[in-house]
Every structure is written in C-alpha cells, then in structure tokens.
C-alpha cells in the first residue's frame, strides 16, 4: 500500500519554522553536491536530470534536463542561474511553503544546476509579498557561504559560484523568464520573444538558466538516490518524482501537500485536504492556478500529471488546485481572474492589453445582469485569438474563459436570461475603484 504522502522535498520539515542548515545536513543535505563536484562531470549531472524525467514545476512543464542541455558547451562566460521564486500565479503558494520549509534544499538544487551548466553567478528572484522569505534566504545563504558551499572554490574544487537574492518590484509578468531577466537588469520587465535564445544570450547577454525553485529542489534527490528512483516515485508512467500540490478553496484543510506525481485529483482533495468544506459539493477545480481551465466533476478522478491533463485538453501548470463548490458562481470567479490579468498585463501587445479588458467588460456585464446572447460568440472568438499574442500570458488568461464556455455555458446563459447573477451577492465589487 503506497502511503498517501511521500516526504522527499518535505523530509526535513519542522513544525512552525524552517529547517536549519544542521538539520538539512543531518538529513543528507549537501552530499549530492559534494558527490557531483568531486565525482561527476557537469555533463553527467545533466544526463541524470534528463533521465529522471524531471519537468519544470513553474507552470510550463518543460523537461529540465533538456533545458540544461540547451546551453552549449562552448557558450560564453560568465553564465547565470536564476531560481524563479516569483510565484504570482493566483492560487499558487507552494514555493513559499517550500522555501519556508527547507531553504537549503533549494540552495543546493540551485548549486547543482550551476555546476551542471558551469555558471558563476546565481539569483533568487523573489516577489515582494515573500519578503520574509527573501530575508530567510539571505540569512541561510550566509550560512552556506560560511560553510564553504558558496563562493570561490567550493569544497576545494575549481567550481566557484555565488548566489544573491534579487527583490522584484512586484508584477506577475516578472515570472516569465525573459521578463525576469529584464527585471534583474533594471529594465522594464517586458518579455522578449523572437530574439536570441536565453541559453546563449540571457542575463547581460550571457547564457542563462531559469528554473522554478520546486524544480531545483528535486535535483539533490535525483543525484542522491538516482534518476530511476525519482522516476519511480510517480504514480503514472509518464510522471516523475513528487509534486507539491497546493490546495485551496472550499476544502477542509487548505495547504501544501507533497504527493507522488500523478495522484488523482479526488484523492488529493479528500485524503490530503480533508474533503470539501461541510455542506459544500464539488463543482469544479482549477488544476494549476488562474491561468488554467475549470475541470468539472467528470475529471474528478484524473491523474494530476502533465501528460494526463494534456490528453484531457487541460494543463497541469503549477499544480496548484483551486476548488470551487456548487454555491460559487463561476462567472464571477472568471471575472475576478480576468481583473487580475487585465491589471497585470505588461501592455506590450494588443490582444493582451486591449482584448483582455474587452473580455472582462463583457463578463462584468453578464455578472451584473447586463449580459446579452451575442456576448457568447465574442467571448469565444476573443479567447481563441489570445493564442496569437506576444507571449504566454494572454493564452493563460484566456484559459478560465474557455473553460467556462466549454463546461459551464449554461451558467452563463442563466445570468443572461435571468438578468442577474443566480448566486447572489459576491461582496462589494471594488474593481471600479482602481480602474
């Protein structure tokens, strides 16, 4: 009988405080680094990560080993590793929990990535609301430095690498890799597409690797126990490792739960998060935060894994599950999410900057009893066109709308025909106040 929870990333978890450096080391920490530096060539580290099947946990799900291998051996120096701790996807809080649980695991993961691509400098890019975690990281980086795990000639080898914390001014788009690079360089953080690839010209025009902190935290375990072990942790054949499923919404115990990749949605909700809040019935869930589509009851047993969701026409994203009950209006929920995207749009391209406010306006009218039949094809068309925006922001913004249209068109029509929201009041709408 496979235990419901698996402690890999959370193995050193302490109640109410982060694990210390000593606790991390006692749990086997920094051994993977030591082995890698002394016994493995960078190429071999990459090989192991490739074989493990590790996929990025920041939302895109890109195979990590493949990304690391993308930096050519002959690429220029210095090279950079960015540990993406921006985590601004609504509904997502797993990285905060991870960093707060075991900062050194994240540090070691970043070090291993740096070793693998022969980088010299690294950056923790962190959002303003995680200020306490920024300070935590700064303190623990000092500890790691003092212990000889950062700086020049780490563990008396040729490998030198240092990490700093870079604070963001606070915008969702900063989570996008090219925008994040711009942000670090002190430019307006717009994404840059169609230019030279990050692997060769990223931060300060040099080879740069950007990975989510959860992804990086997996790496010490892959090296310590081996890629096959990591792969076997998953419940599905296509998955690998464990996943931090952040569950929030109308569940009994919202929180961040480490479970084998591919655990079924229903299991996560009932076994880990204690089931629906008393009196509530499951209506739909977002699998990965606001830029994914609603999954209604028919997907209750779906395996929460990249491939399984893709096959079903959905996206795992960050694996941050937001649970809605039957008393919650999904039109209003979508409207709320559109407000988010409209506010956070960087403003570079037309579909995102102007199209999303149009969608938001139509949804607002539907929710407030001013909806019309003719809005539905417009919503459908505009959401579909978001695919052709400049970066992945707008397509993500369109996903909840597409989900709404695909699975809950009836709810939309009810609003329109009843000329009001059938679910009643949803709190004061402050949206107008700051627009």
**73 vs 381 by CB, closer to another protein:** 381
Phi, psi of 264 (to 5 degrees): -70, 150
The yes or no reply on residue 398 touching another protein (CB under 8 A) is no
Residues 207-236 that bind another protein (CB under 8 A): none
Structure token pair of residue 372: 């019309």
Token pair 């090279």: residue? 79
The region, left, alpha or beta by phi > 0 then psi within -120 to 50, assigned to residue 170 is: left
Stretch that binds another protein, among 11-19, 166-174, 209-217, 293-301 (CB under 8 A): 166-174
Residue 324 pairs in a beta bridge with 284
Mapped onto helix, strand or coil, the DSSP state of residue 159 is: coil
Closest contact distance (angstroms) between CB of 347 and another protein is 4
**Binding footprint of another protein, residue count (CB under 8 A):** 84
The yes or no reply on residue 17 touching another protein (CB under 8 A) is no
Residues 231-260 that bind another protein (CB under 8 A): 246-250, 254-256
H or E stretch covering 257: strand 255-260
The yes or no reply on residue 428 touching another protein (CB under 8 A) is yes
> Judged by CB under 8 A, which of 101, 168, 211, 212 binds another protein?
168
> Judged by CB under 8 A, which of 130, 149, 299, 407 binds another protein?
130
The yes or no reply on residue 172 touching another protein (CB under 8 A) is yes
Residue 166 pairs in a beta bridge with 125
The yes or no reply on residue 15 touching another protein (CB under 8 A) is no
- Tell me the helix, strand and coil percentages in the chain, rounded to 5: 45, 15, 40
For residue 93, what is the DSSP state? -
Residues 108-127 that bind another protein (CB under 8 A): 127
Token pair 């082995």: residue? 35
Residues 372-391 that bind another protein (CB under 8 A): 378, 381-382, 385, 388-390
Closest contact distance (angstroms) between CB of 141 and another protein is 15
Q: Are the CB atoms for 114 and 223 separated by under 8 Å?
A: no
Q: Computed from CA positions of residues 198, 204, 209, 212, in that sequence, does the dihedral angle turn out positive or negative?
A: negative
The yes or no reply on residue 283 touching another protein (CB under 8 A) is no
The yes or no reply on residue 268 touching another protein (CB under 8 A) is no
> Judged by CB under 8 A, which of 361, 376, 413, 420 binds another protein?
361
**45 vs 174 by CB, closer to another protein:** 174
Closest contact distance (angstroms) between CB of 293 and another protein is 13
Residues 296-335 that bind another protein (CB under 8 A): 320, 322, 324, 328, 332-333
Residue 14 pairs in a beta bridge with 17
CA distance 416 to 422: 10
Mapped onto helix, strand or coil, the DSSP state of residue 333 is: helix
Closest contact distance (angstroms) between CB of 214 and another protein is 13
10 Å CB burial of residue 411 (0-12, 13-18, 19+) is buried
CA distance 154 to 162: 10
The yes or no reply on residue 281 touching another protein (CB under 8 A) is no
Residues 42-101 that bind another protein (CB under 8 A): 87-93, 95-96
Closest contact distance (angstroms) between CB of 85 and another protein is 10
Closest contact distance (angstroms) between CB of 393 and another protein is 11
């Amino acid at each position: 009988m496979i235990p419901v929870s698996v402690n890999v990333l959370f193995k050193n978890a302490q109640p109410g405080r982060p694990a210390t450096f000593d606790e991390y080391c006692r749990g086997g920490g920094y051994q993977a680094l030591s082995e890698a530096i002394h016994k493995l060539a960078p190429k071999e580290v990459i090989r192991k990560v490739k074989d493990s099947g590790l996929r990025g946990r920041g939302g895109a799900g890109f195979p990590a080993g493949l990304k690391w291998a993308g930096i050519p051996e002959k690429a220029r120096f210095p090279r950079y590793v960015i540990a993406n701790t921006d985590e601004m996807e609504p509904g997502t809080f797993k990285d905060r929990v991870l960093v707060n649980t075991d900062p050194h695991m994240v540090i070691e993961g970043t070090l291993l990535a740096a070793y693998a691509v022969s980088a010299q400098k690294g950056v923790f890019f962190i959002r303003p609301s995680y200020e306490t975690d920024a300070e935590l990281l700064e303190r623990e980086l000092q500890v790691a430095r003092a212990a000889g795990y950062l700086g020049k000639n780490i563990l008396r080898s040729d490998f030198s690498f240092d990490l700093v914390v870079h604070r963001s001014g606070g915008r969702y788009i900063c989570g996008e890799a090219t925008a994040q690079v711009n942000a670090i360089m002190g430019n307006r953080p717009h994404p840059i597409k169609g230019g030279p690839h990050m692997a060769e010209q990223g931060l300060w025009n040099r080879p740069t690797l950007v990975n989510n902190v959860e992804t990086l935290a997996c790496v010490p375990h892959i090296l310590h126990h081996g890629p096959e072990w990591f792969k076997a942790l998953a419940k599905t054949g296509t998955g690998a490792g464990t996943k931090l499923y952040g569950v929030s919404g109308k569940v009994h115990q919202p929180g961040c739960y480490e479970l084998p990749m591919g655990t079924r949605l229903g299991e996560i909700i009932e076994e880990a998060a204690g089931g629906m809040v008393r009196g509530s019935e499951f209506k739909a869930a977002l699998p990965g935060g606001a830029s994914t589509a609603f999954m209604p009851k028919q997907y209750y047993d779906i395996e929460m894994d990249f491939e399984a969701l893709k096959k079903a026409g959905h996206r795992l994203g960050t694996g941050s599950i937001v649970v809605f009950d039957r008393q919650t209006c999904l039109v209003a929920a979508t409207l709320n999410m559109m407000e988010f995207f409209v506010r956070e749009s960087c403003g570079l391209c037309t579909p995102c900057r102007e199209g999303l406010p149009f969608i938001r306006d139509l949804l607002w009218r539907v929710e407030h009893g001013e909806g019309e039949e003719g809005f539905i094809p417009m919503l459908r068309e505009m959401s579909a066109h978001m695919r052709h925006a400049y970066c992945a922001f707008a397509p993500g913004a369109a996903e909840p709308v597409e989900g709404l249209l695909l699975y809950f068109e009836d709810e939309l029509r009810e609003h329109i025909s009843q000329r009001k929201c059938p679910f009643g009041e949803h709190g004061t709408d402050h949206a107008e106040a700051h627009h």
